[in-house]
Structure 1
Amino acid sequence: MTTYKAEIVPLNANKIGTSAHGTASLELTDTELTITIEMFGTPASTEHWEHFHGFPDGRAAEIATAAQDVNGDGFVDLMETESVSGTTMVPFDDAPEHMDIPHDRYPVADADGHFAYTKVVPLAELQDNFANAFGSRDLQLDRRVIYIHGVPADLQLPDSVAGMVGMFDAHVTLPIAVGKIVRVD
């Protein structure tokens, strides 16, 4: 088994009124990927999309910081993360192996802003779908970052905050926390 971890730190905390943080563990065997994420301080009673992001060409992804706010609106939106973090790759939802990203089957924080997520994923199916999308079966977890997204629909966001994915607006896709995945064994 190979183990990867990420310390998930706040992003956009000064604008959203919470300081989302937590940890992630990804344990890889020959047949399964077990994903465990625990988050604290997220916007309460809100669904939180969570994914790993990266570059299809294998470049190492880095976490976004306030420096990525290129339009100066005070928010680092989904589109602004792409220069350092790449694209959304694998969702941490009810079936990561399907790589179906825009939907409403992600964890929902409780009234205290806490949620815990664990999923055991069949590795071969995930690798097949990953290869179909990105040209390689190698997940390269230590070259990826994890993003947690989502703020309440009533939070005032400027029009400059981009993030529409299908029928989901920037409230759903706004990053609230990020962590670099590192191999620990």
Structure 2
Amino acid sequence: MTQKYSAEIVPLNEDKIGTAAHGKATFEIVGDILKIHISMHDTPKNTQHWEHFHGFPDGKEAQIATKAQDVNGDGFVDLPETEPVSGTTMVPFDAAPHDMNVPNDTYPVSDDNGNFEYEKDVPLDKLQAKFKEVFGTDDLELDKRVIYVHGVPDDLKLPDTIAGAVGHYDQHVTLPIAVGKIKKD
């Protein structure tokens, strides 16, 4: 039996980054494969874009962040400010989602027009095993998750108040630019 999910991805921080990133994500579970397709438009061009689903390990329903999450009033919603409503970063949409190795350089890079497509067939058994190892359950509960797309050019001036560095990756890499609620179709 095939299970289908999708998310309309809407801009976040668009008034500060100069572009309104948007798109659509679809997730289809077919047998033992999770098929992921993400189509993004108007992202910062020629930039690597980290993308993940976020959520709460306890199964609480995640919601998308809005400007209301800008608790420090700097005009940006940074990664830590999304956590109270969206939970933690869970599964990356990179070269190997089933490895759940978030900080790496295998995410999509947008073209000269700010567009990119991401397609990946993920072995569900490997993803569920790693998910259980990290979060204590093998139930991905996609309809309780949100998708985030991150990343702005290194030369974009960001205030010192933006948090979210991960390892040697700074806030330019982790700043959310778009978000969508995953729903069961």
- Please give the TM-score of this superposition, normalised by the length of structure 2: 0.99
| Structure 1 residue ranges, 4+ long, deviating more than 3 angstroms after superposition | none
The aligned counterpart of 1:135 is 136
In 1, Cα distance between the equivalents of 2:35 and 2:101?
Answer: 18
In 2, Cα distance between the equivalents of 1:136 and 1:85?
Answer: 18
In 2, Cα distance between the equivalents of 1:80 and 1:89?
Answer: 16
CA-CA distance at 1:160 after TM superposition: 0.4
The aligned counterpart of 1:71 is 72
- Percent identity, please: 64
The aligned counterpart of 1:114 is 115
In 2, Cα distance between the equivalents of 1:29 and 1:120?
Answer: 10
In 2, Cα distance between the equivalents of 1:56 and 1:7?
Answer: 23
In 1, Cα distance between the equivalents of 2:33 and 2:68?
Answer: 36
The aligned counterpart of 2:124 is 123
CA-CA distance at 1:63 after TM superposition: 0.1
The aligned counterpart of 1:86 is 87
In 2, Cα distance between the equivalents of 1:26 and 1:119?
Answer: 10
CA-CA distance at 1:30 after TM superposition: 2.9
Report Cα offsets for 1:17-45 as digits up to 9, x if no partner: 00000000000123010000000000000
The aligned counterpart of 1:34 is 35
The aligned counterpart of 1:21 is 22
In 1, Cα distance between the equivalents of 2:81 and 2:184?
Answer: 26
Kindly indicate whether residue 114 of structure 2 is the aligned counterpart of residue 150 of structure 1.
no
1:46-57 matches, within 5 Å, as 46-57=47-58
Gaps of 5+ in 1: none
- 1:25 alignment partner, SS class: strand
The aligned counterpart of 2:179 is 178
Letter in structure 1 aligned against 2:75 = G
In 1, Cα distance between the equivalents of 2:30 and 2:83?
Answer: 29
The aligned counterpart of 1:160 is 161
CA-CA distance at 1:62 after TM superposition: 0.2
In 1, Cα distance between the equivalents of 2:107 and 2:62?
Answer: 23
In 2, Cα distance between the equivalents of 1:34 and 1:97?
Answer: 12
- 1:84 alignment partner, SS class: helix
- Over the aligned positions, Cα root-mean-square deviation in angstroms equals 0.4
- 1:27 alignment partner, SS class: strand
The aligned counterpart of 2:99 is 98
Gaps of 5+ in 2: none
In 2, Cα distance between the equivalents of 1:13 and 1:6?
Answer: 19
In 2, Cα distance between the equivalents of 1:19 and 1:13?
Answer: 5
- Please give the TM-score of this superposition, normalised by the length of structure 1: 0.99
